[in-house]
């Protein structure tokens, strides 16, 4: 039996100080990731710092220039917000495609960004080889079952897939992560918030001890307004992506593409922006042939493993199909 202390934080400052002073403590939001990891023995915090009663962190504000979502806003509330559905539909759709309704009612936006990989070897401590769980121990997935693992952004130390949906849409639309810590506030572009495994796969985010996400900000843009999130998976509900794509287009008056956003999920070690696909779309007539041609450039440099080569073609087809479903 592993004893756990519990502290309900009344102020953000108290939470930050406690987390800074006690590296074995962990912040608790909706609990839909952390409690899972505690049950399977991967996370063993000595103290849970409950953030859910902190005031002012669950707001959803859509201004002319941006969407600002507090870290404690629930997935289901953000997904159902009328302004989010209308002006950032890919964000709303990505949230709707994640987890189950019960989980979305509990899970927070900050916690969603902190979710960890679904690699089975990571989540089962009876497997001794996992560099992410136990640095230096090896990677059981390299020569094991790796059908769901990543083909982009991997290293010889870890080939785990980033599992989330929301962050794929956030990466496509240049979101910013607002952070508060012992040294004050700072803002990190969402693409920099997710670290590639390299030779330190246990480090997934650039957060220092005591730092917490306070909000996520998504700029408004014509491409965000005309956007989609498409998720392809083994079953239609409550399943992680085999591949997904967040896409958005701004179309000029002459029918050509004035702005393009494409990001992939389910195939990479982090949410994966596709600048080559975006560049291929720009300035050309927005027609299905162009979408197929540009999407064929996705997943360039992919490094498939024994069981997951299918993801390369699946990623390209998912991006093309997502573009074709946009209202033009």
- Shorter beta-carbon distance to ligand SF4: residue 167 or 280: 167
- Shorter beta-carbon distance to ligand SF4: residue 98 or 153: 153
Q: CA 172, CA 321: separation in Å to the nearest integer?
A: 16
- Shorter beta-carbon distance to ligand SF4: residue 134 or 325: 134
Asked whether position 33 contacts ligand SF4 by CB under 6 A, the answer is no
CB 161, min distance to ligand SF4, A:
8
What is the DSSP secondary structure assignment for residue 244, as one 8-state letter? E
Report residue 281 as tokens.
Answer: 């779309």
- Shorter beta-carbon distance to ligand SF4: residue 38 or 296: 38
- Shorter beta-carbon distance to ligand SF4: residue 89 or 271: 271
CA 318 to each of CA 186, 265, 286: distance values in angstroms, whole numbers, following the listed order: 35, 10, 17
- Which residue(s) pair with 130 in the sheet? 139
Report residue 43 as tokens.
Answer: 């996370």
Residues 180-219 that bind ligand SF4 (CB under 6 A): 201
139-147 contacts: CB < 8 A, separation 24 or more?
141/305, 142/305, 143/306, 145/120, 145/307, 146/305, 146/306, 146/307, 146/308, 147/307, 147/308
- Shorter beta-carbon distance to ligand SF4: residue 88 or 121: 121
- Shorter beta-carbon distance to ligand SF4: residue 121 or 291: 121
Where b means 16+ CB within 10 Å and e means fewer, 80-101 reads ebeebeebbbbbbbbbbbbbee
Sole window of 76-84, 156-164, 188-196, 290-298 interacting with ligand SF4 (rule: CB under 6 A): 156-164
Q: CA 308, CA 152: separation in Å to the nearest integer?
A: 11
Sole window of 58-66, 74-82, 113-121, 162-170 interacting with ligand SF4 (rule: CB under 6 A): 113-121
How many residues bind ligand SF4 (CB under 6 A)? The answer is 14
CB 36, min distance to ligand SF4, A:
15
Where b means 16+ CB within 10 Å and e means fewer, 118-141 reads ebbbbbeeebeebbbbeeeeebbb
CB 139, min distance to ligand SF4, A:
3
CB 152, min distance to ligand SF4, A:
14
Contact pattern for ligand SF4 over residues 116 through 155, marking x by CB under 6 A: -x-x-xx-------xxx------xxx--------------
Q: Do the bridges between strand 66-70 and strand 60-62 make them parallel or antiparallel, or are there none, so unpaired?
A: antiparallel
- Shorter beta-carbon distance to ligand SF4: residue 120 or 182: 120
Half-sphere exposure at residue 152, Cβ-oriented, CA atoms within 13 angstroms: 24
Q: Closest Cα partner for 299 from 285, 312, 317?
A: 312
Distance of CA 299 to the CA centre of its chain: 18
CB 107, min distance to ligand SF4, A:
21
Contacting residues toward ligand SF4, per CB under 6 A: 117, 119, 121-122, 130-132, 139-141, 158-160, 201
């Amino acid at each position: 039996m592993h004893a756990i202390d519990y502290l309900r934080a009344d102020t953000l400052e108290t939470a930050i100080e406690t987390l800074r002073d006690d590296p074995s403590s962990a912040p608790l939001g909706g609990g839909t990731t952390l409690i899972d990891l505690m049950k399977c023995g991967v996370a063993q915090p000595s103290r849970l710092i409950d953030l859910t009663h902190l005031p002012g962190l669950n707001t959803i504000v859509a201004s002319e220039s941006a969407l600002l979502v507090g870290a404690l806003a629930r997935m289901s509330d953000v997904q159902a917000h009328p302004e989010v559905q209308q002006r950032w539909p890919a964000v709303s759709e990505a949230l709707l495609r994640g987890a189950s309704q019960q989980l979305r009612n509990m899970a927070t936006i900050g916690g969603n960004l902190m979710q960890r990989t679904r690699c089975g070897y990571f989540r089962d401590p009876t497997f001794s080889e996992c560099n992410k769980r136990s640095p230096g121990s090896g990677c059981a997935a390299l020569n094991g079952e790796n059908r769901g693992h990543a083909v982009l952004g991997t290293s010889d130390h870890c080939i785990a897939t980033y599992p989330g949906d929301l962050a794929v849409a956030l990466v496509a639309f240049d979101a910013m992560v607002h952070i508060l810590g012992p040294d004050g506030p700072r803002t990190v572009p969402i693409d920099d918030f997710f670290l590639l495994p390299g030779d330190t796969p246990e480090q997934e985010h650039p957060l220092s001890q005591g730092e917490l996400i306070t909000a996520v900000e998504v700029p408004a843009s014509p491409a965000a307004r005309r956007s989609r999130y498409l998720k392809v998976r083994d079953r239609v509900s409550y399943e992680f992506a085999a591949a997904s794509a967040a896409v958005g287009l701004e179309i000029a008056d002459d029918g050509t593409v004035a702005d393009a956003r494409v990001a992939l999920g389910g195939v990479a070690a982090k949410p994966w922006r596709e600048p080559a696909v975006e560049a291929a779309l720009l300035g050309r007539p927005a027609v299905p042939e162009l979408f197929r041609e540009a999407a064929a450039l996705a997943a360039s440099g992919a490094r498939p493993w024994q069981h997951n080569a299918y993801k390369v073609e699946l990623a390209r087809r998912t991006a093309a199909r997502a573009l074709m479903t946009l209202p033009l």
